[in-house]
Structure 1
């Protein structure tokens, strides 16, 4: 994991400023200037888009939203020489720090943008990642999909993920990001880069679920943080933290006064 973090740091510096090729940093050709991400917050992904899962079964995206749980969408391709692996590995490191497991309170979809990749390769990638994750139960909630280009394009265009194939390098140019979707399939949050802290993943999932998942403390936590798009992470909302702190103070004082009154009433009542 130390090696992975070191690689992630190096890649983050190299990839943060612009979309990149997956093998080494260099200026993009003119025909690839549009590669990147256009945010479509609040838009819907096409839930009727059809793909093949890692078992070879035909599925639609709607199947992964039927449980009423938010979904993390991870776009890339399985034979990518570098960047896609860094994005997925970065997501995995963040997931390892969560008490929640895919299939429990949320789902993860890793979708290949390469129409030539097969479900056999998707199955192999899933096996490797579930093994690395160390939580076998995650297999029920982390899905690896492949599909035809028209169906892939429906999803990538919906979330604003613009990519291109380069014949000379024989690879795709694309940006690094995760897409957090609501239980209804709306785009709730874009998480950029290749490193995603457990806190950011947790808050993004809470935000996508509109506070319906998690504990009362999680709801307070979500209230006290906001997504700073300039920094690409969740940051404290000072005013909300003050309000939240004030509310908690009043709550504690109220409980204390109630306890004291009950004690006094018991002392005043001989039968108590």
Structure 2
């Protein structure tokens, strides 16, 4: 009986090990992940080829004191990159702000073989989809291997599959502060407009206006859900303030009405 028990335990252990081995990340996906580098700054001296065919430093796109949406894609990507760009564009259309006014957008190809002609064509497609006049969305390509350096700085892992010529990578966009600090990661291919709005407000240091500061006070980023969620305590505080203001307004109206009625009564008595 003891030997049978030992055998069953050993068999179960071997089965578990086999299952764990099967669950290991495939070789072609190893290193394909995002490691958050929140609070770290990217090198703004890195240069990339812009749509005009000339190298430009990242600093040019961070020189106007605006937060920056950064995404790393490749322009010949058959599906995932387009889904990310589509989701980002849809969220941007629903913002009360416009790229080039309140924020900048920098899209860079991770494929060093892609040229500025592809970037220019991709830009035309997405500016048409964005459907707003803007000079604030920039499509760049690699220059001197700098895209790999930038990807490491923001923790964006990707890998080329030599068999297909396609890149394996995660789906996310990065929101950076005006001085190049990584402020927030937004994941997936669909982005909530509120999440993007709050991420930009956060990256800008709350400089957009009172309504944005109130939103940021009432919502906070939840790492578990990777989204902004209501901050119950601050919601209650803010709700309490609104309730007090409403009560004060009602009391003022009642006091004013009573005062007017009293004045009218005095005038009537005087007239008699």
Answer yes or no: same fold by TM over 0.5.
yes
* Residue equivalent to 2:205: 210
1:229 matched to 2:226? The reply is no
Aligned residues of 2:55 and 2:143 also touching (Cα < 8 A): no
Q: Which runs of 5+ in 2 are unaligned?
A: 1-23, 264-272
* Residue equivalent to 2:171: 176
Q: 1:132 aligns with which of 110, 125, 129?
A: 129
1:141 matched to 2:136? The reply is yes
d(CA) in 2 for partners of 1:149 and 1:231?
A: 37
TM-score of the superposed pair, with normalisation by structure 2: 0.81
* Residue equivalent to 2:42: 45
* Residue equivalent to 1:241: 235
Question: Structure 1 residues 149 and 175, CA, compared in 2 at 3 Å: closer, same or farther?
Answer: farther
d(CA) in 2 for partners of 1:247 and 1:57?
A: 54
TM-score of the superposed pair, with normalisation by structure 1: 0.81
Q: Which runs of 5+ in 1 are unaligned?
A: 1-26
Give how far 1:252 is off. 4.2
* Residue equivalent to 1:112: 109
* Residue equivalent to 2:77: 80
Matched length: 240
Give how far 1:256 is off. 6.0
d(CA) in 1 for partners of 2:203 and 2:42?
A: 14
Give how far 1:141 is off. 0.5
Greater Rg by CA: 2
Question: Structure 1 residues 107 and 259, CA, compared in 2 at 3 Å: closer, same or farther?
Answer: farther
Higher helix share: 2
Superposition RMSD on alpha carbons, in Å? 2.2
d(CA) in 2 for partners of 1:258 and 1:216?
A: 25
Give how far 1:205 is off. 0.6
Aligned residues of 1:45 and 1:186 also touching (Cα < 8 A): yes
Q: 1:194 aligns with which of 154, 174, 189?
A: 189
d(CA) in 2 for partners of 1:152 and 1:198?
A: 28
